[in-house]
């Protein structure tokens, strides 16, 4: 008996005041009250939009909707793994064109916060670090380690110099008013002991030494060294933030989570517009001056960008959904909140603050600048409505809400009162239900003799594939001359899914685990085969030949579709783009687990067979940006790892309905 083990996984280890039509930067400083831009204190509302999670053609509309929603700033991470996938080889094209993205923001009159990291987390592969770092001898990530610090400084300087060459820092007249170094390091600092503290001091010094001319921040870093500003991440920074670690630093909130990222097997996390608005109002009432929504537009995890188990739709419940459509009530409710706060920003920024109780669970936060300039935030933390007296006037406060009085008399906004609702719907435009339109290619199952990479032990998947593929074949030979032998295969893996093929036939199902490292041990009838001769093949033949592209598709022999298919089957067809401008999606509800390409562009991983506790897929619609489509003859290719039915796939469009 010759036994071949194939293992695949899908992931690796584990940012109403009109400003004008164009931002002209200048001197950006800060004090204990707020950021100061060109000598003016600012209350700023910001939103995270990540350039590689949308297309350049989508950027103008996303930024315009953010501005219309009352934002002053767009915040983005910098994705090191996308910009330097191979050491010394940089890529700033297409969706990676960060300079073009920032210039578009500038053209629409908004500022930018640039979160360089370089470690960013962001639910992306390897936390945004390029995999080649793993092979640097002696390297210890995110520590006072000379090898890591060398490469971190080199990339940070690369990005800063790129921004400088395009005159994008505010000190050069550009829109970038803040930069971030590291990311939520306070979560792990203790694990590095003294190396953690010395590293964070070095990181701050290194960043300041890059001389951007704008302030630096560190989020979730209570001990951020001067002059770097420590900032808050979370959902309730008005309650949880310990505050700046110096009286000379402002209170900034870099991540106000508008929902939460979703993983396969789970349902979306729904955070209400009322709760978001309440916590923003409370943060401002407690002298906060900068709030960033993470995410304002989440977008799509194209290609293989997503980290372990994270679905393709990223923060779809944000004010702008995955496709860039407005989600109500979040978008409109927050727009009204921003306008109410901006209408009294002078009083908030320059007035004297007092706070006092209005009842057992009611509080007032009052900013008074003069006898006629006054703003108030009236808070009710009870689960029921109450009527309170403020300045001898009765006010009814809904449960768990804050009322904003820009003149200390009239309520302009209450966080619990939403006025607009909408809903999203899908409309089928095309059914791929004709077998004649599909072609099939069955991935070759390699044998031990086919492999050239050999080792007498089980290799780590990440170190072996170098992140060039989600898939790694483990093959070995087992000879058993018993005529009626029945062997039991026992495999221990830290991967998503393991499939075992015996003599070319599938011999197992999927096994779901929580981490990624590869096949760790294997036994047959109790005999341990962990440390014996193994043959390895990185990736699939279809990947190597790029059969998901127009040119690569001709390199293999495609067959007619049959009703009965096997795992590891490629499917291809062509289609015309639907008319109109509505977003386009693939409904993959009939498929199992795999990967999708449109005209050679990876749309992302799908895992429809992994159901929620309610028995439904976590995601079945997959975004195809309009800019990736031609009017006719679009090439759709899917790699199905299990046994999905492509005849059930539909091409849909997305639209908003009133509710």
CA distances for 527 relative to 474, 493, 522, angstroms: 17, 17, 8
**pLDDT tens figures, 1-15:** 333 334 333 333 223
Partner residues linked to 654 by β-bridges: 426
CA distances for 589 relative to 56, 609, 613, 620, angstroms: 29, 9, 17, 5
Give the SS3 label for residue 73: strand
Q: What is the 3-state secondary structure (H, E, C) of 343-380?
A: CCHHHHHHCEEEEEEEECCEEEEEEECCCCCEEEEEEE
Give the CATH H-level superfamily of domain 28-348: Glycosidases (3.20.20.80)
> Is 322 among the residues known to form the active site?
no
Cis peptide before 227 (omega within 30 of 0): yes
Residue of 3 and 398 predicted with greater confidence: 398
> Is 317 among the residues known to form the active site?
no
CATH class name, domain 424-441+542-658: mainly beta
pTM: 0.93
Angle (CA) 627 631 636, round 5°: 75
Angle (CA) 165 168 170, round 5°: 130
Compute the distance between CA of residue 351 and CA of residue 24 in angstroms, rounded to an integer: 28
**pLDDT tens figures, 460-493:** 888 899 989 999 999 988 776 665 656 677 777 7
Whether the per-residue pLDDT at 19 is higher than 70: the answer is no
User: By the 8 A CB rule, do 398 and 380 touch?
Assistant: yes
Q: Note the pLDDT of residue 488.
A: 74
Give the SS3 label for residue 493: strand
241: DSSP letter: -
Per-residue b/e over 509-547, b at no fewer than 16 CB within 10 Å?
A: ebeeeeebbbbeebebeeeebeeeebbbbbebbbbebeb
Compute the distance between CA of residue 221 and CA of residue 229 in angstroms, rounded to an integer: 9
Catalytically annotated residue among 104, 123, 189, 255: 255
**Residues recorded for the chain:** 659
Compute the distance between CA of residue 54 and CA of residue 32 in angstroms, rounded to an integer: 36
Q: How many helices and strands, by DSSP H and E, does the chain display?
A: 11, 37
Query: Chain-wide mean pLDDT for the chain?
Result: 92
CA distances for 158 relative to 83, 88, 162, 174, angstroms: 10, 11, 6, 18
Give the SS3 label for residue 157: helix
Whether the per-residue pLDDT at 314 is higher than 80: the answer is yes
Compute the distance between CA of residue 536 and CA of residue 451 in angstroms, rounded to an integer: 6
CA distances for 299 relative to 318, 378, 415, angstroms: 9, 35, 26
Catalytically annotated residue among 184, 266, 373, 513: 184
Q: Note the pLDDT of residue 4.
A: 37
Q: Note the pLDDT of residue 502.
A: 77
Kindly give, in sequence order, each residue whose CB lies less than 8 Å from that of residue 379, ignoring residues fewer than 6 positions away: 282, 285, 362, 363, 364, 365, 397, 401, 402
287: DSSP letter: T
Confidence of residue 504 (pLDDT cuts 50, 70, 90): confident
Strands (DSSP E) contained in 443-577 are 453-455, 471-475, 489-493, 497-502, 505-506, 519-524, 527-528, 534-538, 559-560, 569-575
Q: Note the pLDDT of residue 472.
A: 94
Bridge pairing between strands 288-297 and 44-49: parallel
Compute the distance between CA of residue 610 and CA of residue 587 in angstroms, rounded to an integer: 15
Q: Note the pLDDT of residue 9.
A: 34
Q: What percent of the chain has pLDDT over 70?
A: 92
Compute the distance between CA of residue 460 and CA of residue 534 in angstroms, rounded to an integer: 12
Report, as an integer, the average pLDDT of 186-199. 96
Kindly give, in sequence order, each residue whose CB lies less than 8 Å from that of residue 454, ignoring residues fewer than 6 positions away: 533, 534, 535, 536
Confidence of residue 511 (pLDDT cuts 50, 70, 90): very low
Q: What is the 3-state secondary structure (H, E, C) of 604-659?
A: EEEECCCECCCCCECCCEEEECHHHCCCCCEEEEEEECCCCCHHHCEEEEEEEEEC
Whether the per-residue pLDDT at 653 is higher than 50: the answer is yes
Nearest partner of 143 among 217, 207, 198, 222, judged by Cα: 198
Phi, psi of 556, deg, nearest 5: -130, 165
Q: Note the pLDDT of residue 566.
A: 84
Q: Note the pLDDT of residue 478.
A: 79
Whether the per-residue pLDDT at 520 is higher than 70: the answer is yes
Bridge pairing between strands 559-560 and 534-538: unpaired
**pLDDT tens figures, 119-175:** 999 999 999 999 999 999 999 999 999 999 999 999 999 999 999 999 999 999 999
**pLDDT tens figures, 244-297:** 999 999 999 999 999 999 999 999 999 999 999 999 999 999 999 999 999 999
Q: Note the pLDDT of residue 497.
A: 78
Compute the distance between CA of residue 583 and CA of residue 628 in angstroms, rounded to an integer: 12
Q: For the chain, how are helix, strand and coil distributed in percent, rounded to 5? A: 20, 30, 45
Kindly give, in sequence order, each residue whose CB lies less than 8 Å from that of residue 620, ignoring residues fewer than 6 positions away: 587, 588, 589, 606, 608
CA 492 from chain centre, in angstroms, equals: 30
Compute the distance between CA of residue 19 and CA of residue 63 in angstroms, rounded to an integer: 14
Written as six digits, the tokens of 535 are: 């043959």
Angle (CA) 170 176 180, round 5°: 125
- Sign (positive or negative) of CA dihedral 113, 119, 125, 131: positive
Report, as an integer, the average pLDDT of 555-577. 92
């Amino acid at each position: 008996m010759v036994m071949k083990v194939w293992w695949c996984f899908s992931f690796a280890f584990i940012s109403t005041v009109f400003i004008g039509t164009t931002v002209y930067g200048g001197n950006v400083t800060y004090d204990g009250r707020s950021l100061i831009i060109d000598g003016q204190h600012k209350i700023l509302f910001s939103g995270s939009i990540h350039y590689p999670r949308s297309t350049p053609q989508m950027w103008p509309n996303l930024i315009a909707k953010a501005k219309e929603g009352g934002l002053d700033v767009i915040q983005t991470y910098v994705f090191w793994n996308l910009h330097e996938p191979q050491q010394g080889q940089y890529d700033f094209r297409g969706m990676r064109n960060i300079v073009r993205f920032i210039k578009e923001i500038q053209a629409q009159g908004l500022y930018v916060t640039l979160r360089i990291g370089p470690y960013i987390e962001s639910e992306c592969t390897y936390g945004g670090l390029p995999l080649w770092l793993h092979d640097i001898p002696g390297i210890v990530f995110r520590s006072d380690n000379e090898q890591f610090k060398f490469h971190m400084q080199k990339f940070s300087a690369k990005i800063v110099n790129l921004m400088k060459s395009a005159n994008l820092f505010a000190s050069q007249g550009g829109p970038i008013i803040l930069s971030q170094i590291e990311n939520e390091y306070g979560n792990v600092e203790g694990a590095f002991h003294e190396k953690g503290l010395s590293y964070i001091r070095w990181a701050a010094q290194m960043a300041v030494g890059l001389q951007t001319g704008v302030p630096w921040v560190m989020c979730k870093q209570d001990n951020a060294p001067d002059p770097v500003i420590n900032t808050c991440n979370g959902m309730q920074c008005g309650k949880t933030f310990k505050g700046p670690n110096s009286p000379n630093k402002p209170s900034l909130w870099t991540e106000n989570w508008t929902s939460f990222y979703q993983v396969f097997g789970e349902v979306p996390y729904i955070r209400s517009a009322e709760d978001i608005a309440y916590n923003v109002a409370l943060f401002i009432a407690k002298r906060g001056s900068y709030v960033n929504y993470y995410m304002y537009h989440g977008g799509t995890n194209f290609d293989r960008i997503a980290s372990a188990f994270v679905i393709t739709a990223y923060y779809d419940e944000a004010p702008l959904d995955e496709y860039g459509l407005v989600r109500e009530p979040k978008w409109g409710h927050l727009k009204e909140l921003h306008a109410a706060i901006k209408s009294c920003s002078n009083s908030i920024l320059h007035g004297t603050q007092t706070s006092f109780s209005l009842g057992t669970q009611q509080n007032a936060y009052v900013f008074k600048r003069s006898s006629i300039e006054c703003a108030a935030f009236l808070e009710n933390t009870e689960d029921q409505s109450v009527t309170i007296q403020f300045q001898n006037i009765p006010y009814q406060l809904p449960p768990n809400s804050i009322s904003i009085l820009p003149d200390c008399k009239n309520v302009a906004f209450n966080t619990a009162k939403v006025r607009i609702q909408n809903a999203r719907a899908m409309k089928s435009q095309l059914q791929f239900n004709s077998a004649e339109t599909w072609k099939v290619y069955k991935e070759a199952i390699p044998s031990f003799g086919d492999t050239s990479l050999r080792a007498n032990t089980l290799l780590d998947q990440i170190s072996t594939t170098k992140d060039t593929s989600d898939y790694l074949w483990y093959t070995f030979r087992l000879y058993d001359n018993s005529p009626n032998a029945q062997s039991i295969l026992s495999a221990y893996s830290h991967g998503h899914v393991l499939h075992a093929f015996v003599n070319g036939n599938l011999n197992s199902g999927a096994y779901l685990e929580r981490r990624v490292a590869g096949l760790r041990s294997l036994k047959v009838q109790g005999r341990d085969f962990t440390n014996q001769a193994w043959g390895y093949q990185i990736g699939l033949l279809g990947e190597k030949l790029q059969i998901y592209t127009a040119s690569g598709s001709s390199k293999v022999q495609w067959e007619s579709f049959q009703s009965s298919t096997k795992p590891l089957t490629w499917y291809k067809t062509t289609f015309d783009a639907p008319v109109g401008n509505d977003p386009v999606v693939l409904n993959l509800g009939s498929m199992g687990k795999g990967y999708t390409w449109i005209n050679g562009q990876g749309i992302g991983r799908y895992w429809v067979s992994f159901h929620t506790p309610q028995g439904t897929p976590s995601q079945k619609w997959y975004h195809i940006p309009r800019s990736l489509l031609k009017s006719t003859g679009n090439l759709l290719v899917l790699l199905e790892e299990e046994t999905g039915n492509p005849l059930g796939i539909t091409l849909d469009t997305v639209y908003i309905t009133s509710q």
